[in-house]
Structure 1
């Protein structure tokens, strides 16, 4: 790849759509500015001058901006800058945080962090502080805390978020498939019921219609008998028509083609006329402007009237009945009310009337499914009233219907445990039911989950290494400090002319790297004397100045003690 294509690819990654939203651009610019200012200030206060401070600030700002597009390159450059300058330390954790999530592949990330650490350690240990090999432990600890830990933390957090997103998508897919399975199960059951109804009830009703038709033309029947047989024939034909409609609804949820769309308008009048022809005193009242209902609500209204007339015929055959349809602003009110049965034989309930006891329960369920309600009970004058409130086909009713149609199977048991006898060619399940353990194994076998587990293991090892390094580093630092520093009270208690053995017993050994570069600094030592150079615990208030206590011995006695300041 030549320089032109490399630059074009870099520009494409920097200007990728969605990479720089207004909020992100503002945040990145602010972060780069703050890091650049802090880096320039750090360089300037340590005495490196404005030229170097500005150069370091520009480098920090550039690396901060490109760290998303070039994570590995920015990480290596940040390690180099942090090791060679005083102001680049704050950039390292920021770049490492981004690099941990954006460097693809564990091996590539390991190489990038290793290269960054190698450059950082080379500049800090071998260039900035030659001979301070023991400080490698402390700087290694610094790099682990401010570079490796942020990188691993962001890498783990990103992989965990990705894994959770994947699990959410898988869960949503399972829920959709669960809905499909439940919908297919309902459809198969409805088709089975429709087939049973068609095969059994359809056959019986057809026989009734044929027999009553033949009986109606029998010459031996009287006019009244022929009229009663005609009513039975019409009822059987109407029952067959209703059966066909119900079978059609059970099969695909729609009415048969060519049938009226509204039973409320076209069907209830027929029910009232049939009841009147059978000798019942019934009337129909309509109020309000007719409005369309959803098919299920329309069917429920028809069933309410049918059930009300049937109950009145059973329990109060001679009572007057009023069927009313009231079109309210938000719903249709269907009511069947009958007065008290007159006294006498005709006012008693029909002997042997068959009652399944499920009519009102079924009506309440129908109304509930369309967002309505049913009321039934006796009235003050001794009659009975059956009423239903059914909403129109509004947006709310459609939402309720759609929610009902997509209702999941009963949550009492896992849908994976359900099975159907139907095979693949008979509307079987649309997915293979997987064992949860196999599903979990499949999820955890993905690259991202493996990377997450590997990241957790590496993070644990690094934490253990950090704890060990911190323990040895602190112990070494304390030991080196004890060998190199003297208390001001000890310095004051030592007098020139004291025996060398007594003086050295009061002083530390001085065999520490903290004072290794102090040799030869300060005033000239007495000729022929052996000097012990130590750091004073009193110290100077200037962070760039060390207070040094020097003790010189000759011929077994202390010939000089001197305290002076040395610039770092």
Structure 2
């Protein structure tokens, strides 16, 4: 990768620069050459600096190679610092500390090879000790920082997966809720068909074939009702779960607005539908859209005015728009799972509609468009 190549170049150049600086101010260029003159020192140290290219794949082997070279070459000091840094980053801290101590142990050997050392032993120990301690500390810091970044990345990935799971669960729950609602609606209608067919079957003034047809209708409606109960019954998670109550429609939205106002919400209703009210599925879905939107407004923007617009008609569909100022999270606001809108979108899409929501011009806006179903 390009990032690794850049880091390799920086590591090698930095090691060469540190080694060149120490050769210039150190003992190899003194007035009386030692047993290892400076050209030999440089020839030994430069390849050691380029060996830092192996610090990712062979950090332990690199350290074992370059640390002994520091006994005869001060030019190899940059390579030693890079190797100790790599060990602190990729291996146990104790291993890096042992190699750092081994590097300090080579200093007396190096000074014995110089006939007239420029620096006293303690000076050399302090300078190189500061350098290797800095490399060791920097490596440990980089190690902890990388571990923290990896942990945060893992947590972010897990949070995204959990959020996706919650959204999928909300959609499934909404489909289950729709199915349970439809069970009770269809059960009522099938019961009415069966009742009316039974009345026709028993009517004395009708022809026998009508009696027979009415009996077939009554029997078919009864069987369909039993099949519906057996299929939808699996969606009731608890054996004693009560049937869904009668589902409200768009006609009950004013009651919903009144309840919101009683809880302190400033809701303005602009109803352009006049007396038109979509029947059946559209009305029930519209009620749920308004209910969820007003609940979210009360949670996330308490005390702010909310505008609710209803318009449309047969042929053009129903449009619901709910908007409110979009401030930051208010202190003490009610926490939510963040998946209510996902379930609502599932319900709207299953009804053949479309739901959009998000901030716009400083306000949070939710708009649903539904077909005007008969």
TM-score category (smaller protein): 0.3 to 0.5
Greater helix share, structure number: 2
| TM-score normalised according to structure 1 size | 0.34
Kindly name which structure, 1 or 2, has the bigger radius of gyration based on alpha carbons: 1
TM-score by length of 2: 0.48
